[in-house]
Amino acid sequence: MFYLEVAHLAKSFGDTPVFSDISFDIRQGEFITLLGPSGCGKSTLLRSLAGLVPPDTGQIRVAGEDITWLKPQQRGIGMVFQSYALFPNLTVAGNIAFGLRMQKLDKGEIARRVAEAVELVGLTGREHHHPARLSGGQRQRVALARALVVRPRILLLDEPLSALDAPIRKRLREQIRAIQQQLGLTTVFVTHDQEEALTLSDRIFVMNQGSIVQADTAEAVYTRPASDFVAGFMGSYNLLSPEQARALLGLEIDGKLAIRPESIYLREPGRDYGPAMTAPIPARIAQHQLLGNVVRYRVQTAGGELMVDRLNRGARTLLPAGRQVELLFDTAELNEVA
């Protein structure tokens, strides 16, 4: 049923543990994202899958084959690095063909597969350019084509977009996802960017301090965080203590109450919000922040300060600091976390 199986993997550098007892399963064709802060172990875990960093203990299986101790070139796994790692003296075609030459394929087969890869990543016409003549996004596409041309069983992507400007990063991640779906390629992607994880992934594995603390669909990780760490890392959740939850909503809880800013409504007269809403709660606007199509308000309540997101409908609808308002909470969106 599962294509990639990882069981009880552990790795330390000297006396410093990187990750321990990591276990997970991935289906063939899934796009999985390892998401977490810097230093949580996600890149080292990816390199262990690639064979670049041997684990101390544990097992890695692909299609039932134990590859834990195989050399990288024996695993059938392609990897794309953040730094591109292109050969500056080789052209686009030369860089893409490098792995095929190492496999000692004949020239005709190499030329055919390089042409396919160039077209796949949208670099037709630039085959004879050297990396110095390419933009950052184009260089990253060369690195992607070089990984894909050898027809890997699994594709590993180690923060490949983090060095790119935002518009290029958005276009390239859409292209990566489209190619991955077109090829049905099992893919593991490492990032610390929540938006990338949410837009790309079939499932997200959230990591913290060397452990996977939640593994679920992008929607579930965002809307139903398993802990206050996940809630805090996945976005701008409001995290209320038991005392704050009691003062604000009259709730008796043991952990913390996680509330997304978009799940709190600034009450508008005459609008029907449905039966799932709480009774109106008085509050005062402290300040606002423009986030493009969303306005984020900081509001003062009996339970402390909250963030409330509202669709930006123009300057005339902005609420000034000091304005008295009423808040409504969607009870279906209140999450108690450990």
pTM: 0.91
Q: In CATH, what number is assigned to the domain containing residue 63?
A: 3.40.50.300
Q: Would 237 be classed as within a structural domain?
A: no
Q: Would 255 be classed as within a structural domain?
A: no
Domain region containing 310? 261-333
**Pair (174, 280) in one structural domain:** no
**Pair (223, 282) in one structural domain:** no
Q: Would 256 be classed as within a structural domain?
A: no
**Pair (203, 273) in one structural domain:** no
Q: In CATH, what number is assigned to the domain containing residue 311?
A: 2.40.50.100
Of 211, 232, 253, which residue sits at a domain end? Answer: 232
**Pair (142, 220) in one structural domain:** yes
* Under 8 Å between Cβ of 329 and 277: yes
Q: Would 247 be classed as within a structural domain?
A: no
Three state DSSP letters for 232-298: HHHCCCEEECHHHHHHHHCCCCCCEEEECHHHEEECCCCCCCCCCECCCEEEEEEEEEECCCEEEEE
| pLDDT tens, residue by residue, 150-179 | 999 999 999 998 878 888 888 899 999 999
Domains of the chain: total: 2
pLDDT at position 163:
79
**Pair (210, 322) in one structural domain:** no
Structure tokens of 304? 């402390």
The one-letter code for the residue type at 188 is V
> How far is the C-alpha of 296 from the C-alpha of 302, rounded, in Å?
19
| pLDDT tens, residue by residue, 143-154 | 999 999 999 999
User: 269: pLDDT confidence band, cut at 50, 70 and 90?
Assistant: confident
CA 319 and chain centroid, separation = 33
**Pair (178, 76) in one structural domain:** yes
**Pair (303, 213) in one structural domain:** no
